[in-house]
Amino acid sequence: MPPGCGSRSGRNLGGGRRHQSGGRTSAAAYQRQVAAYNRQVAAEEKAQQAAELAEAFGAILGLHREAFAPAQRPVAPPEPQINEGEIRKKHEKAALAGVGVFHRALRSERKAAAAHGSAQEIAATHSQLTAERQELQAELDRRWKELLANDRDVVLTTLEEAFEDNEAPAAALSVDGGEVSLAVLVPGPAAVPERMPGTTSAGNLTLRKLPKKERAGYYKLLVCGHALATVRETFAVAPSLEAARVAVFRHGRTDAYGRRSLECLLAFRLTRDALEGVQWKEANATTVINDVSTERLIKQSGPSGDLSPFELTSEPELLALANAIDTAGVSSAD
């Protein structure tokens, strides 16, 4: 083979090797970039998940701390403003219809009549609006008086309206003097996340799995928190109620007919006076229930202290509450 040909062949082969080496370097750099990007995405997703978990646990811890403004005597809204200018314009336009601009005397007479007519309409409208507002205020005062007297229908209607936007559906089922019976429907244990955000000893973000006992504790806080929030709202919107009997339910298994049973997890009686002085910011929901309620029924099982439903057949009043929930319009909390 001629020397020149060999030389050119060597250069070509050398060039190919440099190109392959460069390709390997580029591929390695690309892989590093992809790995770094994936780590960044994973870290961002983990941080987002941690923020969501922190918010979820914060919500559970704060359920019972929501304060409700006490009901006040309702006041009818002020009378709407009357557009007097439009009324005068309407009367004058009607009075001058067909009267030429040169009929000054007639125009003056018609304008005077229009002014008189508009003044009468304005006065009549004011009188009507005042009467309507007085009638509305009288109705509001009547309802307020009945609410203060713990009228059964008014109290139940007031609480039904108040509970419409509750996270845990609730219903007032009966009123006996100054005592109301409430049913609250809470979600199941799945409402408590399985993991909790934290940091390692090195300061790195971690999403640790909650031990069963700790998760059960948070579920008790959730159940008690919803119950207390319902009671606090009840006492706020019905200012003459002095006590509440509360039964807290959750959905149980679904039978062969597709019907979901109800399980009672907690029942207690709580008075308005007992809530005075409670340190809401410091005390958790479970502590408050344990310390201020009476006639308490709760069942815990296993080493983790899981809430367990108790048998309703031995508690006829609670069984009646459970049976009344469907007719009270309490829907699923899941």
pLDDT in tens, 124-158: 999 999 999 999 999 999 999 999 999 999 999 99
pLDDT tens for each residue of 210-221? 999 999 999 999
The tokens for 42 are 């994973």
Contact between residue 115 and residue 88 where contact means Cβ atoms under 8 Å apart: yes
Is the residue at 33 inside a domain?
no
197: three-class secondary structure by DSSP: strand
How much is the pLDDT for 15?
47
Q: Are residues 178 and 132 in the same domain?
A: no
Q: What is the mean pLDDT of residues 61-89?
A: 94
Domain shared by 197 and 275, yes or no: yes
What is the pTM (predicted TM-score) of this model?
0.79
pLDDT tens-digit series, residues 269-320: 999 999 999 999 999 999 999 999 999 988 888 887 888 888 777 777 777 7
- Run of H or E including 271: strand 260-271
Decide: 246 and 234 in contact? Cβ < 8 Å.
no
If asked whether residues 120 and 173 sit together in one domain, one would say: no
Same structural domain, 198 and 258: yes
Q: Is residue 158 part of a domain?
A: no
Let me know whether 140 and 176 are in one domain. Answer: no
Q: Which two tokens stand for residue 67?
A: 């304060």
276 assigned to some structural domain: yes
> Which of 94, 109, 144 represents a domain boundary (last residue)?
144
The CA-atom distances, in angstroms, between 207 and each of 38, 54, 86, 238, 256 are: 18, 10, 67, 43, 39
- Number of structural domains in the chain: 2
Q: Which of 58, 56, 64, 67 is nearest to 285 (CA)?
A: 64
Query: Does residue 214 lie in a domain region?
Result: yes
Secondary element (H or E) of residue 277? none
Query: Does 198 share its domain with 301?
Result: yes
Q: Is residue 304 part of a domain?
A: yes
Q: Are residues 184 and 317 in the same domain?
A: yes
- Alpha carbons within 13 angstroms on the beta-carbon side of residue 302 total 10
Residues 200 and 316 in one domain: yes
Return the structure tokens found at 251: 């959905």
Establish if 301 belongs to a structural domain.
Answer: yes
Last residue of a domain, one of 144, 159, 182: 144
**Which has more confidence, 12 or 147?**
147
Residue 262 lies in a domain: yes
- For the CA atoms of 192, 194, 197, 203, the dihedral, rounded to the nearest 10 degrees, stands at 160
Looking at the structure, tell me whether residues 194 and 94 fall in a common domain.
Answer: no
Q: Based on the domain organization, do 270 and 124 belong to the same domain?
A: no
Domain containing 309 equals 168-328
Residues 320 and 172 both lie in one domain: yes
- Quote the pLDDT of residue 269: 96
Within a domain: residue 38? no
Same domain, 316 and 214: yes
- The Cβ of residue 275 has, within 10 Å, a number of other Cβ atoms equal to 16
Domain termination residue (choose one: 144, 159, 187) = 144
Four-residue CA torsion sign, 225, 228, 232, 233: positive
